[in-house]
Chain A
């Protein structure tokens, strides 16, 4: 009876008073101010408004997480904003510098192709075997769109991965928000049953792309399969093959990022295709945070399984009291459980040991990263919109 009562209390999440929520949010206010208004940031009007709006947005969402005890709902707002505003800022920058979303050969030869995190797993084997980076960018940055270069991006990825594990896919990826937004749009899923074997697909794509990249010495995923080329940049088509490649990007984007999430209410690209997501799953093993299911409280209603946008829960895993390796720590299952059986967890502790403490520790780390990385992307997108409006 006592367990039942405790479960119900936790099931409705830990709601806090305004004062206590403000206190818990204060460190994030300081962090956001540090990230958006440190010396060296742009001081023009548009940049200041964009920085202020982004800081307020991120702090407000954190406050709501503290006040309501819910995570997923507010994180999703951030994540969808990130997914929608990244292409706005990026495409404007590309068009401004090059006049086209197609990467011309000259830019690749000059090492000015901007490096995104997606090809990282494909670069490891060629780099280990020959010390060669099979990407037309530059190690230290070469001006233009190259940004700070491959070393800086890999360094940033390492730091974020250390903190988030596969939580990267819910707090840092600037592509996943588009499909999360699509998945959130319909009230009910049209396709409700998805064969669980589709969960293996990202691993197959990862293996194929890693081996192909080693054999062909080219970032095979970027050249052939990345759906997000459709909303960022693509190889400038020089022949029929190039046109075919670009058509493939658009088809994959339309199918995996727009249509299937609308039909299934799942992040289909992330859970059934993305090789980078599969790669990040490995780092869930090294991450100290995970999500556990208290088997004593759990009456297997599978609401958590239904809510999970990345199909990271199965009946078997619920019986074992844990999520699958692909868990992105988005918090959907935690928010969905009416009995408080699904909780944030620090490895080494009991499954039900002070879940709110585990949640707070994870959220401070994850949101700090989200403000720093995703926040800068959101600010860039807002700045671009302001550029056209003001």
Chain B
């Protein structure tokens, strides 16, 4: 048998071994390898990393780092704020939020919190700083301007102007 043919059969045998090892070893190894690449889900979806937490009475506001769109991405820049726990929120929220941490409030965010967790939410945002865009009666229009309830938090995304 020629060397090439021998190598071919060795490779074919190895393929069968790979198939048998896949559920017990290889799939896990490959998955860990992919996880170790340091990849992250696009911040347009995840909202970006949390940078600060503002304590309120009975609940807190997590402020995320501003998310910038890539290349021709159809969204505008935005900043996400999470009110949590949603169960501890009053029936109506109207909070001044210092988004950039300079000690001055940047936006006033107002929304009603219905008792039904599946009920649609609407938000008004008054811009106190020119860096943020005001929003009026916004629901879930785009990833960059929305209010949604995710698990036990109410997420508000406010567009950042001129970024």
Contact call A155/B9, Cβ cutoff below 8 A: no
Q: Is B37's CB within 8 Å of the partner chain A?
A: yes
Do A348 and B4 have beta carbons less than 8 Å apart? yes
CB-CB under 8 A from A315, the residues of chain B are: none
Contact, CB under 8 Å: B74 / A155: no
Q: What separation, in Å, do the CA atoms of A126 and B22 have in the docked complex?
A: 28
Does B150 belong to the interface (CB within 8 Å)? yes
One of A65-73, A175-183, A199-207, A214-222 contacting the partner = A214-222
- Whether a CB of chain B sits under 8 angstroms from the CB of A346 is yes
| B38 CB–A CB distance under 8 Å | yes
In contact, B70 and A131 (Cβ under 8 angstroms): no
Q: Is the CB of B15 within 8 A of A289?
A: yes
- List, in ascending order, chain A residues with CB within 8 A of B146's CB: 105
Q: Does A372 contact B (CB under 8 A)?
A: yes
Interface status of B12 (Cβ within 8 A of chain A): yes
- Chain B residues within an 8 Å CB radius of A105: 140, 143, 146, 148
Check A348–B39 contact: CB distance below 8 A: no
The closest CB in chain A to the CB of B11 belongs to A288
Question: A358–B8 Cα gap in the complex (Å)?
Answer: 10
Main secondary structure of the interface of A (DSSP, over half): helix
A258 CB to closest chain B CB (Å) equals 32
Let me know if A243 is at the binding interface, CB within 8 A.
Answer: no
Contact of A218 among B9, B32, B73 (CB under 8 A): B73
Expressed in whole angstroms, the minimum distance between the Cβ of B18 and any Cβ of chain A is 6
Most buried by A among B35, B47, B141: B35
Contact across chains for B46 and A137 when beta carbons are under 8 A apart = no
Q: At the interface, yes or no: A41 with Cβ under 8 Å from chain B?
A: no
* A138 and B150 within 8 A (CB): no
Bound together, the chains give a CA A353 to CA B19 distance in angstroms of 23
Interface size, chain B (Cβ < 8 Å): 54
Main DSSP-derived SS at the B contact region: helix
Chain A residues with CB under 8 Å of B150's CB are: 106, 109-110
Cβ–Cβ contact B40 & A132, under 8 A: yes
Query: A133-B40, A346-B9, A353-B5 known; A110 and B19 CB under 8 Å?
Result: no
Asked if A140 is an interface residue, CB under 8 A from chain B, the answer is: yes
B72 within 8 A of partner (CB): yes
User: Which residues of A in the span 95-153 have a Cβ within 8 Å of any Cβ on B?
Assistant: 105-106, 108-111, 126-127, 130-140, 148, 150-152
Chain B's nearest CB lies how many Å from the CB of A219?
10
Asked whether, in the complex, the Cβ of B27 is within 8 Å of the Cβ of A348, the reply is no
Interface status of A378 (Cβ within 8 A of chain B): no
- Which residue of B18, B35, B37, B45 is within 8 Å of A159 (Cβ)? B18
Contact of B12 among A109, A136, A346, A369 (CB under 8 A): A346
Q: Is there an interface contact between B41 and A136, defined as CB atoms closer than 8 Å?
A: yes
How many Å from the CB of B122 to the closest CB on chain A?
A: 14
- Asked if B45 contacts A217 (CB within 8 A), the reply is no
Contact partner of A361 (CB less than 8 A), chosen from B5, B16, B148, is B16
| Residues on the A chain within 8 Å of B30, using CB | 154-156, 158-159
Interchain Cβ contacts under 8 Å between A and B, 5 examples: A139-B41, A163-B15, A216-B74, A217-B73, A348-B2
**Chain B contacts to A: CB under 8 angstroms:** 2, 4-9, 11-16, 18-20, 22-23, 26-35, 37-47, 69-74, 140-141, 143, 146, 148-151, 155
Task: Apart from A132-B70, A159-B30, A288-B11, list 9 A-B contacts with CB within 8 A.
Answer: A133-B39, A133-B40, A139-B39, A156-B30, A214-B71, A358-B12, A361-B13, A365-B18, A372-B22
